[in-house]
Structure 1
Amino acid sequence: MKDINYDSSFIPEGGPSHATFNTLTVAAGVQWHNPYNAAGANEQIIVGGISPAGSVGTAGGWVQGGGHGIFSPQFRIGMDNAVQFTIITSFGLHLTANAYSYLDFFWVFIVHGPIWSVKAHSSFSLTAYM
């Protein structure tokens, strides 16, 4: 796991071609120093956890707890920057949830994630350096 993928024209699964996002997709198990480095290498800012080597994973626990970080006052909290989740439900179903596909699940995952699923990948919107 521990994959990280930067995409400047990410289209959520099931979304129209004009619905593009500047994203960083992270896999389960990724700690914050890796997304910070990946975003910085692409001259982007990601709202992330305060401790780069923190114990709460990027893809799951952090965003499910709201996703507070040092950039939150300026760029909103983590769950506000979530674009898409690829998850495995407690029933063993593999789903990709976003604003265009499984919208009801998308909001449930943000608010009640640990109860419903294991996050395999999470995609977050980025902001270019100012």
Structure 2
Amino acid sequence: MIVLVASCDMFKTSETAGPAGDEPIVLTGGEIIVTIGEDGELLYAPEDVSVSVGDTVVWENKSGAHDVVFGTVPDGVDAEAISLTTLATESGPAHSVTFENSGTYKYHCTPHKELGMFGTVTVE
């Protein structure tokens, strides 16, 4: 006799973060979730994501006061226009960017920059 056991989790349409938060949550439609301040930590999880042109990254605040300020962007991209320069203090989606230009986008949290709170989006 063979018994098969299936979990409801195997039919999810998204990928969830691994134990260390290394993998982004990927939703259908080219939308990636990056968490901010998970468990009170001063980090973006994951710190580095790779997306395709036209994909959207959503930064979701979990705790604390954070922003998403782009310092390095590809030529022709307005870093200020895609940055969240006010502090997000409530839990939930805080900011989103749909990436229309390929290249490397480096960002940081202004209040926690000196503590190493950085992230990178690579658009291919």
State TM-score, norm by structure 1. 0.30
Q: Which structure is higher in RCO with an 8 Å CA cutoff and minimum separation 6?
A: 1
More strand by share: 2
Select the structure that is richer in helix. Answer: 1
Structure number with bigger Rg: 2
| TM-score, normalised with respect to structure 2 | 0.31
